[in-house]
Homo-oligomer: A and B are copies of this chain.
Amino acid sequence: MLENSRYNEVLDLKKWEVLSATVSGYIRSALPVGSNAVNRYFGLSYSPATIRNIMSDLEELGYLTHPHTSAGRVPTEKGFRYFVDHSDFKKRAASSEWKAISRVIEPLLSGASVADLKEVLSDIVIQVSRTAGYAVFVMETRTQDEARVVSIEAVPISGRHVLVIVIFETGQLLKKTIAYPEGIRWGEFRKIIGKLNRIGRFRTLSSIREDLLIEMEGLSLAYAILLREFETLGKTPDFKLYGASQFAKIPEFSKVTDLKSVFEVFEEQMSLFAVLKKMVEPRGVSVAIGSENQVPGLDVCTVISIPLTRSGAWFGTIGVVGPVRMEYAQVIPLMTYLSDRLNEWLSGRESKD
């Protein structure tokens, strides 16, 4: 069972069996599930009539709904949530089926250096999308506050602009063109950069920032400008969505207008950013079902996401996006594996190979 059971209500065995069967059936078929189907395809020992009674109870409790009088049952978000919280997905994690992902992910990780993070994440996300059959996004803040700086370079570009490059131990780069006012000369700027390098080598950007505030007081206007730039250095998140075409398979999005609203959410990335940041807390796999995603247009989707962390600090998220009727039993183990493997790689336990 996953850790976060949001409902203290606990269903008895019979109810759980029926709910589980209904949810599973609905995930497979995308069609309302009737009492007969539950009885036949899931081998429950209760008759259809009994199952009807139980389903009726589950409906009253809010786990199932009725599209119309003579249709089968469809799980509510609450139903999906209960299903996700009370299924033991680890059991199935051993199945050969999802092991396929490791055959695909391992070669991407084993040779690679963390310096190529971006490319590696791209490749991984494409593979995950293919394997899982859903769209997958990767979002990466470029705040490298916790990575150690190797060198800071400055290159004059035009009469008024300097390109500042911060090179991190991890091989990542941060660049920023800075406009400096007329009064300040290139020579002065270079002196500051030199000092920064002496101070900053093998320290984190955030600790350099602190020191700058203390040590270099009143050095000059140039310094003030530089410092201000450092505040915002590389805060723009980088966002990519892969496998959007996968949505076409999904009956929920058979109307183009439904698809549209989802795509719009991904084009409006900033709103996503805020939400994803909030979802970090439960270390490991987060599942946000339907309206649990606080993003307006995304309430028809489930997002299964894992945080990217380095030295304990969050710097990005990978997420699988699909319908609420998602193949949780496939995707959750997959993402669990990916989370473990990726964070192991990020923490550099492999840099010796």
Contacts and interface: CB of A to CB of B under 8 A. Distances in A.
10 closest A-B pairs (Cβ-Cβ)? A248-B260, A245-B263, A115-B177, A163-B171, A158-B351, A245-B264, A113-B177, A248-B256, A113-B161, A245-B260
Interface string A243-264: 1110111000111110110011
B167 A153 contact: yes
A159 interface: yes
Interface string A126-169: 00000000000000000000000011010101110101010101
Contact of A257 (B116, B244, B248): B248
17 contacts: A113-B157, A114-B157, A115-B161, A153-B167, A155-B171, A157-B170, A157-B171, A158-B352, A159-B351, A165-B165, A165-B173, A171-B175, A244-B244, A245-B259, A253-B256, A254-B256, A256-B259
A314 interface: no
Interface residues of A, number: 42
A171 B352 CA distance: 33
Contacts of A113: 157-158, 161, 177
A337 interface: no
A264 to B, nearest CB: 5
A263 B119 CA distance: 21
A1 to B, nearest CB: 36
A118 B114 CA distance: 23
A157 B115 contact: yes
Interface in A84-104: none
A106 interface: no
Nearest to A353: B160
Contacts of A161: 113, 115, 171
Contacts of A159: 351-352
Given A116-B177, A256-B256, 8 more contacts: A150-B155, A153-B167, A157-B169, A157-B171, A159-B351, A242-B267, A244-B267, A248-B263
A49 to B, nearest CB: 39
